[in-house]
Amino acid sequence: MEKVILSTAYFPPIQYISKIFRAEKIELEVMENFCKQSYRNRCEIMTANGVLPLTVPVDHANSGLPIKEMKINYITPWQRLHLKGIKSAYTSAPYYDYFFDEIAPIFERKDKWLLDLNNVALETVLDLLRIKKELTPTTDFIKEYPSDIADFRYGIHPKAAHRIDDSEFTATPYRQVFSDKHPFAPNLSILDLLFCEGYDAKKFL
């Protein structure tokens, strides 16, 4: 894959990271309008009770504002709740002790803008995965790209109805926490793969 266009995302799913890992050029969409109920401000982790979405609250989520104008809302203690959820979910994971201290400071930040939070989260996980790629923000909004550019801005989505076919990604099973209680859940947040597989995570991208 030569070039891929991706939306911003909060601790993105494994498929998203696989696009960065495999592409030669990566652009991150920062000129679009905000799309609610997407990975732009949510991720999914595996817990004792099954898959749990963690959502970053934003102001005016229904307004259709540009993504770069989306402010994070701190009225609820979402950072504490997210961190508590991750701790509870992955304390027993094989690589929890390797990576948790690198992830935790992200939840102490008070970023004003969603884009800034997402960029820090993405840079952190790419560093932990030892993936070195240049990520370029878009400068204009282009509704439809030529066929030789892989546009996954709207095709990597929590809801199956919005997903596009992706022959280059297969959700290869790995041993998840609570696998004795729940079947394998594909394409969770990259945090799930990191805590479960550590530096071998790239084998699943």
Q: Where are the domains of the chain?
A: 3-204
According to the model, what pLDDT value does residue 161 have?
A: 87
pLDDT digits 0-9 by tens, 89-145: 999 999 999 999 999 999 999 999 999 999 999 999 999 999 999 999 999 999 999
Mean pLDDT of the residues in the chain: 95
According to the model, what pLDDT value does residue 168 have?
A: 87
In order along its 205 residues, the chain shows pLDDT tens digits of 699 999 999 999 999 999 999 999 999 999 999 998 999 999 999 999 999 999 999 998 777 789 999 999 999 999 999 999 999 999 999 999 999 999 999 999 999 999 999 999 999 999 999 999 999 999 999 999 998 999 999 999 999 888 988 888 989 999 999 999 999 999 999 999 999 999 999 999 9
What's the pTM value of the predicted model, to 2 decimals?
Answer: 0.95
According to the model, what pLDDT value does residue 62 have?
A: 76
Q: How far apart (Å, rounded) are the C-alpha atoms in residues 160 and 167?
A: 15
Q: What is the DSSP string of the chain?
A: --EEEEE--SS-BHHHHHHHHH-SEEEEE-SSBP-SSSTTSEEEEEETTEEEEEE--BTTTTS--BGGGPBBP-SS-HHHHHHHHHHHHHTTSTTHHHHHHHHGGGGG---SBHHHHHHHHHHHHHHHHT----EEE-SS--SS--TTSEE-TTTS-SSGGG----TT--------TTTTTS---TT-BHHHHHHHHGGGGGGG-
